[in-house]
């Protein structure tokens, strides 16, 4: 994670700066750059998006976006996966999906990478639930557990055969073990 030497003074100024790779985020007046995803992170991100979208896209319940910038509540963050209920997906007047998402995700998923600061990721998830996100997940591949961030700053850690909650209305049942088994081919 990199903190810029001269951070922008406002969210508006930050949003005028060209995008970086990996993405930079603006929260609590500070700009930080996300870490480059590695193998485990990438595998979990793709498998989760695929599994969620297989269940929710055709019936138009929701959609899971990967690395989508979400700007809301005075911050601009890029969760690893942002799930939006179908009716909340921002659209252009043509009906096509918008490029800018200036709303919170309904479900925010972060995957901890090596050398990433866990507290910074938790702070992003707490920001999400403070502004309307119903559910936050933080996957820790090293410890093979999932930290849930729920409204009112409730936090819970799940592991092993525990079933991980998903958004209401989504017919998807996954255990922590099933998710981390995706790391083995």
Lowest mean pLDDT among 31-35, 66-70, 78-82: 31-35
**Of 109, 32, 29, 107, which Cα lies nearest the Cα of 75?**
29
CA–CA dist 100, 18 (Å, integer) = 14
Greatest extent of the chain over all pairs of C-alpha atoms, in Å: 46
pLDDT digit string (tens) for 81-123?
A: 999 999 999 999 999 999 999 999 999 999 999 888 899 999 9
What backbone phi and psi angles, to 5 degrees, belong to 131? -115, 15
Question: In the numeric block, which tokens belong to residue 108?
Answer: 């925010």
pLDDT-derived band at 3, boundaries 50, 70, 90: very low
Q: State the chain's mean pLDDT as an integer.
A: 94
CA–CA dist 62, 56 (Å, integer) = 5
CA–CA dist 77, 23 (Å, integer) = 9
CA–CA dist 11, 89 (Å, integer) = 22
Burial track 36-54 (b if 16+ CB lie within 10 A, e otherwise): ebeebbebbbeebbebbbe
> Which pLDDT score, from 0 to 100, does residue 7 have?
56
**Of 33, 32, 49, which Cα lies nearest the Cα of 41?**
49
Residue 137 in contact with residue 44, Cβ under 8 Å? no
pLDDT digit string (tens) for 130-163?
A: 999 999 999 999 999 999 999 988 999 999 999 9
The residue among 74 and 8 whose pLDDT is bigger is 74
CA–CA dist 52, 29 (Å, integer) = 33
Using DSSP's 3-state secondary structure scheme, residue 56 falls into helix
């Amino acid at each position: 994670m990199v903190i810029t030497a001269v951070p922008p003074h406002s969210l508006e100024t930050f949003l005028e700066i060209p995008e970086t790779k990996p993405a930079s985020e603006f929260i609590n007046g500070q700009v930080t750059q996300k870490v480059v995803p590695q193998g485990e992170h990438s595998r979990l991100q793709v498998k989760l998006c695929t599994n969620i979208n297989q269940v929710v896209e055709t019936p138009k319940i929701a959609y899971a976006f990967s690395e989508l910038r979400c700007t809301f509540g005075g911050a601009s963050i890029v969760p690893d996966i942002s799930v939006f209920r179908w009716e909340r997906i921002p659209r252009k007047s043509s009906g096509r999906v918008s490029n800018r998402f200036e709303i919170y995700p309904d479900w925010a998923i972060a995957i901890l990478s090596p050398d990433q600061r866990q507290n910074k990721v938790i702070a992003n998830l707490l920001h999400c639930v403070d502004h309307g996100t119903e559910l936050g997940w933080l996957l820790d591949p090293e410890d093979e557990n999932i930290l849930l961030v729920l409204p009112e700053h409730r936090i819970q850690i799940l592991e092993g055969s525990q079933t991980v909650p998903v958004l209401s209305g989504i017919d998807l049942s996954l255990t922590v073990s099933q998710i981390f088994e995706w790391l083995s081919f």
